Amino acid sequence: MRMNTLKDLYVAELKDIYDAEEQMLKVLPRMEKVCSNDELRSIFQEHTHITQIQKDRIEKIFGMLSMKPIKRKCDGMSGIIKEGIEIMTNGAQPSVLDAAMIGSAQRLKHYEMCVYGSLCAYAKLLGFGDQADLLQETLKEESNTDRRLTDLAMRTVNVEAA
C-alpha cells in the first residue's frame, strides 16, 4: 500500500495494530498458563478480555471509515511474541519465568502504547475526534496494565526471582 497522505498512514497503522491485537489474543492465554504467580495470571486473564474489547474498537473505527476491518501482518508484534515464546519454553524456574513474562508483556504493552499514541495523534490531525477518543481509551488501558505489571514486578515477582 502506498502512503501518500496521513490518512493512508493512519489506515496502514490501523491494519497493523488490528493484527497485533489478534496476535495478543492468541499469546495471552499461553502466558497465563505458564505463570506461577496468581496475581500475574489474573492480570493476563483480565487483559485477554480487554484485548478483545480493544480489537472490537478497531473494528468500530474501520466502520467509521466505511471500511471492512483488514489486517496487515504486524512483524513487530510477531518478533516480540517470538522472543516471549522462547522464554516460555526454555525451562526457567517458576519465579524467574514469572519475571520474564512480565518483561515480555511490558515489551508488548510498550509497542502497543507507541502505536496507539501515534494513531491518536493522526486521528486528531485528520479531524477524527471520535476515533481519537476510542484510541485514547485503549492507550489508557495499555498504560494501566503496564503500571500494574511494574507494580507487581517490584512488589513481589522480581524479589522472588532474585
Residue 70 pLDDT greater than 80, yes or no: yes
Q: How far is CA 115 from CA 1, 33, 87, 152, in A?
A: 18, 27, 24, 25
Please report, for the chain, the start and end positions of each structural domain, with discontinuous segments joined by +.
6-161
- Give the burial class of 58: count Cβ atoms within 10 A of its Cβ; 0-12 exposed, 13-18 middle, 19 or more buried: buried
| Cβ atoms of residues 152 and 145 within 8 Å | no
What superfamily does domain 6-161 belong to in CATH? Answer: Ferritin, core subunit, four-helix bundle (1.20.1260.10)
| Cβ atoms of residues 30 and 89 within 8 Å | no
Convert the pLDDT of each residue in 109-158 to its tens digit: 999 999 999 999 999 999 999 999 999 999 999 999 999 999 999 999 99
**Helices and strands (H and E) in the chain: how many:** 6, 0
Convert the pLDDT of each residue in 13-64 to its tens digit: 999 999 999 999 999 999 999 999 999 999 999 999 999 999 999 999 999 9
C-alpha 74/C-alpha 117 separation (Å) is 17
Q: Which three cell numbers stand for residue 3?
A: 502512503
